[in-house]
Each structure stands twice: as structure tokens, then as C-alpha cells.
Amino acid sequence: MLKGSIVALVTPFKENGDVNYEELGRLLDYHCENNTDGIVILGTTGEASCLTFEEEAEIVKFSVKRVNKRVPLIVGSGSNETAKAVTYSKKYSELGADYVLVITPYYNKTNESGLIKHFEAVADASLCPVIMYNVPGRTGMSMSLHAIEVLSKHPNIYGIKEASGNMSYSIKVAKYISKDFHMFSGNDDIIVPMMSIGAEGVISVLANVAPKQTHNICELCFKEEYKKANDIQLKLLDLINGLFIEVNPIPVKEAMNQLGFNVGGYRAPLDYMSEANKEKLKAIINEVKEEIF
């Protein structure tokens, strides 16, 4: 079963903009060795929207081989075109993904029936289970509760990454949690509240820099030791907020570079952080460094 701290991994780049496979391998090993319970590649944090299909396929092949089933590997395969989402999901599942993560359509926002058909088509085509991804702040649309109810019954839809940040909405989604349908928090600042209503972990940006602590928050929640879990979350809250001081993944890559990783820069249109925000992030990291390492 997929559960716990699932890192939404960055994609490291070289100075010339190519994917840095040496550093990617180091990151995959780092997470397998530091209590991360699952790894997402080609997600929002992985800048998938700025990668070519050929680059994505190579990253999947490399990651499948490097992780070698040490932890579950989840691959982002969504698109705002159903045919592309079907093609990507089928391809990446064939290459060895354990799960695919599929975002709702964006820009050309669909109606409810189109949304249901979109996810059904992907789930029918994929050789591995599908996790739906609801993030209205990015896509401009939120999944209706009726659509979630219908899709939760599909045998190849494993669950949902719920990243609306709206606890009132999330608790309504939690009605559909079952032994066959699972929910994951998509927000690091509400891991504990989300797990208290039935989420089975978090798909996390924070885990890029604090894998053990994010894992520990989840483990304590599984034991229903919510006070202890919340104590850790509150200690890391400034860092969590700092990782979103500018649009994701700009701050988390900056933080990782400051901490000694070599993840490089970004694909345009993303750009480097302002000097003022770099200094703010550096101060936050220095405050919590002892908590992380």
C-alpha cells in the first residue's frame, strides 16, 4: 500500500539546461536511504510541463532502474488533452511506474461529464493504478464531489492527491475514502489535519529538504499521536512557508542548492529567486538546520 511521506521530486538540471542524471541518481538514492516512503517524478515540482516527451521517458527509465522497487515510484502523466494523458500514462506504466499521477485538465477546463470521461479513459489505458490530482490553484478548476464519488469506484483509480488547501472541501472528499480509494494531502502545511480526517500521507515539497521529518509526521499520525506530529509540523512551518515564498519549485531548488545539493536552475519561464527572497530563505534554513540534519 502506498502511504506516508511521498516526495514530489525536483528535476535537477546542468548549467546548459540538460537533465543532470548524476544528481538525479543521487537524489533518488538519498530518498530511498532517508525514510521517504514514495517518490513522485515528473510532477509540478519536477517541472514536467517544461520537459519534452523524450526527456520524460528517459527520466522514467532511469528512475525505475535506479529506485529498483526500494520504494514506490509515481510518475506524473497528466495533460489537458485526454489523448495525451492516455498515451503518457500507458507509456510510463509500461516503463515500470508503480502508479501514475494525473492532474485535472487545465486551461481548457472541462465540464463534469468530460472530467469523468477523462479520468476513466486514462484509468482504462494505464497498466498501473492512477492517482488523480486536484489542484485548483494551478489548473483553475476543482473536481466536483460527484465526479470524485463516481471515479472512486473505478477499479484502477487508487486515490486522489487533494491539494486545494480547503479543509472544508477535503473533509467532503474524505467521505469517499475506502479500502480501494485513498486520499493524500497535497499541502505540507496541513499534513496533520488532512491525516486526521483519513489521508494516508502527503505528496510533499518539504520532503525534498526534510525527508526524515516529513516521514516522522506521517508515522506519528498513523499512530494517532497527532500532538507530537503537530509539534514537528509547527517547528517546520516557517520552512514550509518559505518553500512557497515564490512559485514552486523555485524556492525548493534554491533551498536544496543552499543545502549542498546540485539541482541547478530552472526551465523557462521559471527564473531565479530575487536576492531579497534568497536571503529570507537562507535565514529560515539556518533557523531549522538542526531540525533537518
- Grid cell 530563505 — which residue? 281
Q: Which listed residue (88, 92, 99, 133) is catalytic? A: 133
**Helix 250-258 and helix 275-292: axis angle, to 10°?**
60
Catalytic, 161? Answer: yes
* CA terminus-to-terminus distance, the chain: 28
Tell me the residue length of the chain.
293
Q: Which listed residue (3, 90, 91, 161) is catalytic? A: 161
- Grid cell 474524505 — which residue? 174
Residues 6+ positions from 59 with CB-CB distance below 8 Å: 11, 19, 24, 41, 42, 51
Contact 57, 95 (CB under 8 A): yes
**CA angle centred on 100, ends 139 and 9, rounded to 5°:** 75
Closest CA to 232 of 292, 148, 152, 159: 292
Distance, CA of 71 to chain centre: 15
Q: Which residues are catalytic?
A: 133, 161
